[in-house]
Amino acid sequence: MPAQAQESQRERTGQGVGDPAASKPPAPIQNVIERAMGLLGIPYRWGGTSPESGFDCSGLVRFVFRETLGVNLPARSDEIGKFGEKLLSGNLQPGDLVFFNTMRKSMSHVGIYLGDGRFLHAPASGGVVRVEKMDMPYWVKRYEGARRMLSEQWQAITLPGVLPGRLHGAETLGGERLSMGPESRGDMDQPTAADPLEILLRKLGQKP
C-alpha cells in the first residue's frame, strides 16, 4: 500500500494520532482495559451479557463498563453510540468505544479500543472475545467512528445534557439523583430507578 494511503488509513482508524499507548492510562481506563482483557476467549452468544452466558458485542461493552465504572449502558450498539463524546478521526485513546457497520446498519458493532491500533470485541457466532487490529481491511472498510465515555478528569461517563466534568457519588439533574457508585448498578437489563441513562432519557421525553 502506498505511504500516503497508509497514512490516511491510520488517521481514519485513529492510529498514530493522539494514541497514548506508550504510557499507562489513568486508573479508571486501566481498570476498563484490564477487565476487558480478562474476558478474552469467552464465547460469542447473541444477547449474551455475562461470562457465564457468553457475550455479544454490546453485552461485552455493557458488562465491562458496569463492572468497572458502575454505569449501565443501553442494550444495543447503535444506542450506545448516541452517548458520550463523539471523537474526531485520529484521536483515539484506550477505553474509547469504536463502532462499525457490519450488518448494513449504522453502528451495528462495537468494541473497546486498547491503544496501538488494536481493539477488543465479541465478533460473531462461532467466535470468542478477542483482540484485532483496526487496520485490517475488513474493519477499515466498516469503521464508522468512536465515542469517549469518560470526561477529561477520567471520573465519570459523559452523558447528553450533562456538562463535561466530574460527577462524584451523587449529582443531580432536574432534582433527580444521579448515582455513579456501586449502588446504581442493579441488573444490567433492568436499570434501577437511579440509573443515569434512564433518568436522562426520561428528562428528554424518550421514556414514559
Residues labelled as active-site residues? 57, 109, 121
Q: What contacts 24+ positions apart, CB below 8 Å, involve 41-49?
A: 41/128, 41/129, 41/130, 42/122, 42/128, 42/129, 43/127, 43/128, 44/122, 44/123, 44/124, 44/125, 44/126, 44/127, 44/128, 44/129, 46/125, 48/122, 49/188, 49/189
Question: Would you call 87 helix, strand, or coil by DSSP?
Answer: coil
Cα angle 78, 80, 82; round to 5: 80
Angle of helix 27-37 relative to helix 57-69, nearest 10 degrees, comes to 140
